[in-house]
């Protein structure tokens, strides 16, 4: 085994890593935002709109991310949607994540005791105030572990973007290994790298979670 190639390809790999983090961060933020909108629609919108949204959720959750990317990136131009690989990948990641985030928010909202919402209604708060002041803060906190968990899953999904030529880390690693024929070393290092990344993010996530939920855990 020979790992010296990593030195030579350092800058390209670093750029790839930057794109991975970019895709992950933006994909998570946009996916969460879309998921939150979906969850609120499911809670408040009239029935037929909820059906449409539910169909969207089933379709996205029932199909592989890779196939979604193919439809978007290779199929898109046939209906006039021409995107470069990176924006297509970002859009794909956003769409892919949104139903999972929506489900997380939905069960977070369900975890808010109904009585706490009734108490707000009983003193005459508007539905909008109730959403902003009671439902969102409490629902978000109870969704937090699942949110962190799913954004970790999304870090791993970013490697699939390499298949539609988004120049992220795996794409750069693949290019490097086809040019140098060091397939095994390259992929091994990539594996170790992701292991480290995911472990770090989960650790940071747990600490963050403990800080946020400080007041919400009953004294024993």
Query: For residue 50, what are its two tokens?
Result: 């909820």
Window of 35-43, 46-54, 87-95, 197-205 that interacts with other proteins by CB under 8 A: 197-205
Burial label, 200 (beta-carbon count in 10 A; 0-12, 13-18, 19+): exposed
Residue 161: closest CA among 48, 55, 26 = 26
Applying the rule CB under 8 A, the residues between 169 and 188 that interact with other proteins are 170, 183-184, 187-188
Write the binding mask 99 to 118 for other proteins: x where contact by CB under 8 A, - elsewhere.
--------------x-xx-x
165: helix, coil or strand? coil
- HSE at residue 15, side-chain half, CA atoms within 13 A, is 8
| Residue number with CB closer to other proteins (10 or 127) | 127
Phi then psi for 81, rounded to 5 degrees?
-100, 90
Window of 7-15, 84-92, 97-105, 211-219 that interacts with other proteins by CB under 8 A: 211-219
Positions touching other proteins (CB under 8 A) are: 58-59, 61-68, 70-71, 74-76, 78-79, 113, 115-116, 118-127, 129, 133-134, 137-138, 141, 156-157, 159-160, 162-163, 170, 183-184, 187-188, 190-191, 194-199, 215-219
């Amino acid at each position: 085994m020979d790992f010296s190639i990593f030195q030579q390809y350092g800058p390209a790999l670093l750029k790839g890593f930057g794109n991975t983090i970019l895709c992950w961060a933006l994909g998570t933020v946009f996916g969460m935002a879309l998921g939150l909108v979906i969850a609120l629609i499911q809670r408040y919108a009239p029935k037929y709109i909820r059906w449409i949204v539910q169909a969207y959720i089933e379709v996205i959750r029932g199909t592989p991310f890779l196939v979604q990317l193919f439809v978007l990136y290779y199929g898109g131009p046939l209906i006039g949607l021409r995107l470069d690989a990176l924006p297509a990948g970002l859009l794909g990641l956003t769409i892919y994540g949104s139903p999972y985030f929506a489900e997380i928010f939905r069960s977070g909202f369900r975890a808010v005791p109904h009585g706490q919402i009734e108490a707000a209604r009983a003193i005459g708060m508007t539905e909008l105030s109730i959403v902003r002041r009671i439902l969102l803060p409490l629902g978000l906190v109870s969704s937090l572990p699942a949110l962190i968990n799913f954004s970790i899953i999304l870090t791993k999904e970013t490697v699939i973007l390499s298949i539609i030529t988004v120049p992220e880390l795996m794409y750069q690693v693949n290019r490097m290994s086809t040019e140098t024929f060091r397939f095994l070393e390259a992929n091994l290092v990539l594996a170790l790298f992701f292991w480290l990344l995911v472990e770090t993010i989960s650790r940071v996530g747990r600490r963050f979670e403990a800080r946020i939920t400080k007041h919400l855990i009953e004294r024993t």
